Amino acid sequence: MLKLYDTDIESRLLLGTARYPSPEILRQAVLASRTGIVTVSLRREMAGGRTGGAFFSMIRDLGVRVLPNTAGCHTAREAVLTAHMAREVFATDWIKLEVIGHHDTLQPDVFELVEAARILCAEGFRVFPYTTEDLGVGERLLEAGCQVLMPWCAPIGSAMGPVNIGALRSYRAHFPEVPLIVDAGIGRPSHAAAVMELGFDAVLLNTAVAGAGDPVAMAVAFAGAVEAGRAACLAGPLEPRDMAVPSTPVIGKAVFS
């Protein structure tokens, strides 16, 4: 079972709650995915004068753990304030920390991210930082007090899937004991299976399900892919080779001449 901070989590699929065609489809997709954790953007839902009230109570009624996020924040200060609000709204000290540094790529501002992580961990938050696959930044986040790391595999919403498999492989090898969740950029179930096969502990995704032609059916597909990838990782997949290896033994074959 996956342990995140002190909590055991059964499903290794974490789901975002934005951009669904309707709240009812979101509800059905969450149930179909069998996820145990959904992430919710405080700023997005409270933007434009909306209070987010009806949406937040629908999320609370889903019966899954809520991981509020600081999506839309661009500075450590904004992210810390948003985390405080999230703690009030959802009565949780879990926070998915996003501090965006670049408009086109939605790449994290890793300097502000580490600063916000340091402040929030010191305040007792359980921080889940959305980060790049940079090893040094990962180390700084652990020093700040994070016990989970969430490297991207591609820009948020891009659906590109793992663009730098080598970097993800190194990340896993560099932090063998840390729970690692691939967050952002996954487009297809095969992408989720691929990163799970690399040994990542879980995946978090939103757009690939919310934007699918049939989000509920896609949620089912992702649930299966994440389980398959995890099972394959535990089963010890072969490493690719440059040369052919005959699958039929040569010794003992019949000789006709």
Where on the chain is the footprint of ligand DXP (CB under 6 A)? 16, 18, 39, 69, 71, 130, 156-157, 183-186, 204-208
- Any known ligand binding at 229? no
- Any known ligand binding at 184? yes
Smallest gap from Cβ 220 to ligand DXP, in A, equals: 17
Contacts of 207 (CB under 8 A, 6+ apart): 16, 19, 156, 157, 159, 187
39 is written with which tokens?
């992430």
What is the DSSP secondary structure assignment for residue 180, as one 8-state letter?
B
Residue placing its CB nearer to ligand DXP in the complex, 31 or 246: 31
Residue placing its CB nearer to ligand DXP in the complex, 193 or 240: 193
Q: What span, in angstroms and rounded, lies between the C-alpha atoms of 163 and 205?
A: 16
Residue placing its CB nearer to ligand DXP in the complex, 109 or 183: 183
Smallest gap from Cβ 176 to ligand DXP, in A, equals: 24
- Any known ligand binding at 157? yes
Identified catalytic residue from 34, 43, 96, 230: 96
Could you tell me which of 236, 233, 207, 234 has the C-alpha nearest to residue 222?
Answer: 207
Contacts of 68 (CB under 8 A, 6+ apart): 39, 40, 41, 42, 83, 86, 87, 89, 90, 92, 94, 95, 96
Report which residue's Cβ sits closest to ligand DXP.
16
Beta partners for 65? 37
What is the DSSP secondary structure assignment for residue 49, as one 8-state letter?
G
Residue placing its CB nearer to ligand DXP in the complex, 42 or 156: 156
Smallest gap from Cβ 191 to ligand DXP, in A, equals: 10
Could you tell me which of 213, 233, 209 has the C-alpha nearest to residue 38?
Answer: 209
- Any known ligand binding at 185? yes
Answer yes or no: 96 catalytic: yes
Smallest gap from Cβ 203 to ligand DXP, in A, equals: 9
Q: What span, in angstroms and rounded, lies between the C-alpha atoms of 231 and 80?
A: 37
Which residue positions form the known binding site for 1-deoxy-D-xylulose 5-phosphate? 157, 184-185, 206-207
Could you list the active site residues?
A: 96
